[in-house]
Amino acid sequence: MHSLLTKMTPTIQQQWAQCQTILADNLTSSAYQTWFAPIVPLQYAEGTLVLQVKSQFVAEYIEENYIPLLSAAIIRVFGQGTRLEYRVLVDSTSGAGTTLPSSGAPASARPIQQPAASNNDLPSLNELYTFDSFVAGEPNKLARTAGLAISKQPGYTAFNPLFIYGGSGVGKTHLACAIGHQVQALHPQARVLYVSANTFKLQYQDARKENRIPDFLNFYQSVDVLIVDDIQYFAGLKGTQDTFFHIFNYLQQSRKQLILTSDRPPIELKDIEERLLTRFKWGLAAEIARPDYQLRKDILLSKMRRDGITLSDEIVDFIALNVRDSVRDLEGILASLLAHSTLTDKEIDLALTEQVVSHIVAVQPHRTTIEDVLEEVSKHFNIPQRALVSQNRAKEIAQARHVAAYLSKKLTDSSLTEIGFRMGRRTHATILHSVSYVNEQLEFDPVLRQHIAQLKSALHH
């Protein structure tokens, strides 16, 4: 390996380092460290870049999951037409290895500037981002439902534009592309264009420099569905905003569909012209919230089925419990687990999972509080919290109060006196009575056992 490194020119190292920066900016830390950080650039000659990888599995996984991003990075740094080959190292002493060509020729980093003759000439949507692979849940219900409606009648629903917003990694781009795919499936002649805000900005700047603004406008006004990702990056770009304003107006007035994504709602966007903000609010602003425990678990199970991974319930629960913010982090952890297992020939167990997860998020045990119990019991039985701590002795309220006292004793570190105080200044004897009552009822009441099990699961996660 050392002899190979000494033969590399600094230029190749510097160029690959630029590619790595682009990759790191667009991937989770775990995905980047697992798949791209270990890559060694061996050669760049006659338009071919040769990258050394640890195994054929690594090359195949990159080809299957990351080739669009890797291609875009290579084009940006090494130029158009660059071919990619992988070299799998067989002997680290001699540097001998097997060469594997990339199955995907790098495509243009920017969409076509001129009007396209057909839908097939437009930049393609990410083929993995479909409704089939988009896991539905409460945090994305509104946005997904609106997207399905748009797919049936693009431009002819009340959701135009559809403004999808939410934190990083919650699935905004996935849903936007899924809508595009569904439109193409239901309306084969529709011309669907996906573009990031940054790419739009670069295209506009190029068109302005080359006096091709009319062609630029004609191209964008020729599409039936326009998807602009990360619209917040238009902030402070007056010329870009002015041009997009005209495109927006034309498409909206022509009953063409606009789909925009952002990391924040329209009201929180800064340095965006008021006339654009007003138009962003014309249709539907739909939030995709951070995934809750059940959605995180469903996403994990879906991706496990897709990748042929089998994990124990204990491992799935551990990941879903601790990785709370981003779907990308869930994907990155699964990729890391698969890579560790394959490259080290070790089984994926809880110890390995804890190690991988701890590199992504801070793993902290959650301590259930009395407030947690009251909130969950209130929600579960649809009884206001104030009723639980009141003197109301209605049967359904009293039953829920008994359950809250029982769970507070079982799941928290609080004393009977503290629980009683938090539950309407009741005595410790009253709380003890509730705990005893529930214990007795659990022996012969299957409905109560089910309620307790559901509440414990909700409070645990």
- The pTM of the full predicted model, rounded to 2 decimals, is 0.58
Write down the mean pLDDT value for the chain.
84
Query: Which pLDDT value is given to residue 3?
Result: 44
Tens digit of pLDDT for each residue in 397-411? 999 999 999 999 988
Provide, rounded to the nearest whole percent, the portion of the chain with pLDDT above 90: 42
Tens digit of pLDDT for each residue in 119-167? 444 556 888 889 998 999 888 999 999 999 999 999 999 999 999 999 8
Tens digit of pLDDT for each residue in 246-291? 999 999 999 999 999 999 999 999 999 999 999 999 999 999 988 8
Average pLDDT estimate for 72-94? 78
Q: Is the pLDDT of residue 100 over 90?
A: no
**Range in 45-49, 226-230, 302-306, 431-435 with the lowest mean pLDDT:** 302-306
Q: Is the pLDDT of residue 312 over 50?
A: yes
HEC string for the chain: CHHHHHHCCHHHHHHHHHHHHHHHHHCCHHHHHHHCCCCEEEEEECCEEEEEECCHHHHHHHHHHCHHHHHHHHHHHHCCCCEEEEEEECCCCCCCEEEEECCCCCCCCCCCCCCCCCHHHCCCCCCCCCCCCCCCCHHHHHHHHHHHHHHHCCCCCCCCCEEEECCCCCCHHHHHHHHHHHHHHHCCCCCEEEEEHHHHHHHHHHHHHCCCHHHHHHHHHCCCEEEEECHHHHCCCHHHHHHHHHHHHHHHHCCCEEEEEECCCHHHCCCCCHHHHHHHCCCEEEECCCCCHHHHHHHHHHHHHHHCCCCCHHHHHHHHHHCCCCHHHHHHHHHHHHHHHHHHCCCCCHHHHHHHHHCCCCCCCCCCCHHHHHHHHHHHHCCCHHHHCCCCCCHHHHHHHHHHHHHHHHHCCCCHHHHHHHCCCCCHHHHHHHHHHHHHHHCCCHHHHHHHHHHHHHHHC
Domains delineated in the chain: 2-101 (3.30.300.180), 119-287 (3.40.50.300), 293-358 (1.10.8.60), 370-460 (1.10.1750.10)
